[in-house]
């Protein structure tokens, strides 16, 4: 089964670390990142979709953090 997640947050080092950690845990990038600007917070916001192949069947209780 392919598991899908979208990571979002301010475009900063912390976001890059989250994506890098996911990649080191076997996730793969799925498409290019999306970028927008939050005028209230005056910061760019980025989103990156990631996917991972897992052997377990789908369940609504699936814990994405444990994969």
Structure confidence by residue, pLDDT tens digits, 13-62: 999 999 999 999 999 999 999 999 999 999 999 999 999 999 989 989 98
SS3 32: coil
pLDDT of residue 32: 98
Nearby residues of 51 by Cβ (< 8 Å), 6 or more positions away: 2, 3, 4, 5, 27, 28, 30
Q: How many domains does the chain have?
A: 1
Q: Looking at the predicted structure, is the pLDDT value of residue 10 above 90? A: yes
Q: Which of 40, 38, 37, 20 is nearest to 29 (CA)?
A: 20
pTM of this structure: 0.88
| 60 found inside a domain | no
| 63 found inside a domain | no
Domain around 14: 2-55
Please answer whether residues 49 and 30 qualify as being in contact, where contact means their C-beta atoms are separated by less than 8 angstroms.
yes
| 64 found inside a domain | no
| 31 found inside a domain | yes
User: What's the CA gap between 48 and 29, in Å, rounded?
Assistant: 7
pLDDT of residue 12: 96
Q: Which tokens belong to 57? A: 């069947």
pLDDT of residue 2: 95
| 27 found inside a domain | yes
| 44 found inside a domain | yes
């Amino acid at each position: 089964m392919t598991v899908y997640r979208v990571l979002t947050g301010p475009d900063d080092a912390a976001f890059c670390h989250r994506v890098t950690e996911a990649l080191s845990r076997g996730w793969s990038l799925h498409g290019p990142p999306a970028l927008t600007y939050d005028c209230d917070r005056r910061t760019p916001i980025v989103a990156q979709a990631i996917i991972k192949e897992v052997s377990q069947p789908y369940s609504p209780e699936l814990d994405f953090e444990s994969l």
